[in-house]
Structures are given as C-alpha cells and as structure tokens.
Amino acid sequence: MTEIEDLSARLLALETVVRQLLTHLAIRAEDPPRWVETRRTLAMHAVQGDPSFAGDPDARAWMEHAIDGFFGQVQAVVEAYSTGTSGPVMR
C-alpha cells in the first residue's frame, strides 16, 4: 500500500466514524433534521470565514460541495430513521 493509499484509507475511516457519530447525536436531538442543518450551516460558515480559501474560489467551492455531500448523507439517514423508513441506512 502506498502512502497515498494509506492516507486515503485513514481519511475514509475517519469520515465514516464522524458520520456515524453525527448521526448518533442527531437522532437523539429534539429535532434531528434541524440539528443536522445547523451543523451543516456552521461548517459552511467556517469555510466561508477561513482566510486560506479567500484567494481560491475553486478550493472553497470544492470544500463547500464536500461538506454538503457529507451532511447530505447524514440528513438522509436521520430522515429515514425519523420516518421509520426501512432500507439500506445505518443506525
């Protein structure tokens, strides 16, 4: 395994753990969909306020897209859990 493959695998593992943690916390919130949306908004504001992205709109757009995709998956699981939908969702 190359160093890049190792780092990629570790990043994927970290993303999976964080996604499961956020899902766990969201499901226990009073209003799970709103909880997830608030965290998505906070993450977007962090990127928009980060000076390292100020001079690179493409990098900022890429990061915002990645955050949106990450939280979109959490939102889908939370909505499925909240409505009792069965299917390929992690709980």
Q: What is the pLDDT of residues 18-49, one digit of tens each?
A: 999 999 999 999 999 999 999 999 999 999 99
Kindly list the domain boundaries of the chain, sorted by start residue.
3-83
Residue 65 has pLDDT above 50, yes or no: yes
pLDDT for 82 equals: 80
Assigned token pair, 18: 């964080």
Question: What pTM was computed for the model?
Answer: 0.79
Could you tell me the pLDDT band of residue 87, with boundaries at 50, 70 and 90? low
What tens digit of pLDDT does each residue of 1-12 get? 899 999 999 999
Q: What percent of the chain has pLDDT over 90?
A: 80
pLDDT for 88 equals: 52
Helix, strand, coil share of the chain (percent; to 5)? 80, 0, 20
Whole-Å CA distances, 63 to 28, 54, 59: 28, 12, 6
